[in-house]
Chain A
Amino acid sequence: MKVEYINPFIESASEVLEEIAQLHSDRGNLRLKQTNEPFRDVCAIIGVVGDIQGQVIYGFDQSTARNVVSRMMMGAEVTEFDEMARSALGELGNIVSGRASIKLEKLGKNIDLSPPTLVMATNVHISSLKIGMIVVPLGTDCGVIDLYVGLEESKK
């Protein structure tokens, strides 16, 4: 996978977290996701089609997800994942990916995004993913957010 596809998502995540949750993030080391490694418990999945295709997944632990959503909602306490909290996380994934798509357009790559799918479960494996994924941990005051990026050039 080309780094030029991953960077727009990392940059966008960092910018958007700052803007909508006033949350600073520090990028950890990139690594390849192991096949048997489960995803984090709360995942916002965005499908990518176009010049580049695959999935981008924003993964949170339960407490991290609650803290991030709380910040997005001006500090309101989040005790359960109701529709409001779920849609906030989905929207976060949508906005980060949307901004990344604007950055990719400037690199000459046009992509379309699916609406976010939210998966909440422990020990999740997603077997439809055939593309190898890079994991980018983003350290924040709310906990670590894992950005899983699995993208490849579309076959012409």
Chain B
Amino acid sequence: MGNSVMIVDDAAFMRATLKDLITKGGYEVVAEAINGQEAVEKYKTFKPDVVTMDITMPEMDGLESLKRIREIEPAAKVIMCSAIGQQANVLEAIKCGAKDFIVKPFQPDRVLEALKKVIAG
């Protein structure tokens, strides 16, 4: 079984698209969350090797969720995956501990490459 991944995105369409491509890439999607709050809860339960995290979400956004997850597990590996890719957002995410930042719409290869790199690192 490949490394475990949790997908966090409020859009069902985006979760399905990511799940399909990540599964085909040889990873196991162990959990999906629809907002930052749910992501924090499910992180504790599933302890995935990597998390893909959207930023703009209701309830709790991806940056706040990233911070909370890194408090629970300082070594948590989180890849931001957002349409909101202004420089300030990217820098803020990296400062908060994100390992990579993918701007939507993403190329499948770019996502798999990021997963590989982050798991290896």
Spell out A's residues near B (CB within 8 Å): 16, 19-20, 72-73, 83-85, 87-88, 90-91, 94-95, 97-99, 101-102, 105, 110, 112-115
Mark interface residues in B1-43 (1 if CB within 8 Å of A CB, else 0).
Answer: 0000000001111101000000000000000000000000000
The answer to whether A87 and B12 touch (CB under 8 A), given A98-B104, A115-B56, is yes
How far apart are A125's CB and chain B's nearest CB, in angstroms? 25
Of A16, A19, A90, A113, the contact of B84 (CB 8 Å cutoff)? A113
Question: For chain A, what secondary structure do more than half of its interface residues adopt (helix, strand, loop), or is it mixed?
Answer: helix
Of A84, A90, A94, A102, the contact of B86 (CB 8 Å cutoff)? A102
Contact B13 A88 (CB under 8 A): yes
A97 to B86, CA, bound (A): 11
Spell out B's residues near A (CB within 8 Å): 10-14, 16, 56-58, 82-88, 103-105
Contact A115 B58 (CB under 8 A): yes
Contact B13 A95 (CB under 8 A): no
Of A19, A20, A83, A98, the contact of B85 (CB 8 Å cutoff)? A98
Question: In the complex, which residues of chain B have a beta carbon less than 8 angstroms from the beta carbon of A16?
Answer: 105
Question: In the complex, which residues of chain B have a beta carbon less than 8 angstroms from the beta carbon of A19?
Answer: 105
Question: In the complex, which residues of chain B have a beta carbon less than 8 angstroms from the beta carbon of A97?
Answer: 83
Of A73, A99, A110, A113, the contact of B88 (CB 8 Å cutoff)? A110
Report 13 cross-chain contacts, Cβ distance below 8 Å, ordered by A residue: A16-B105, A83-B12, A84-B13, A87-B13, A88-B11, A88-B13, A91-B13, A94-B11, A94-B104, A97-B83, A98-B85, A99-B83, A101-B84
Question: In the complex, which residues of chain B have a beta carbon less than 8 angstroms from the beta carbon of A99?
Answer: 83, 85, 103
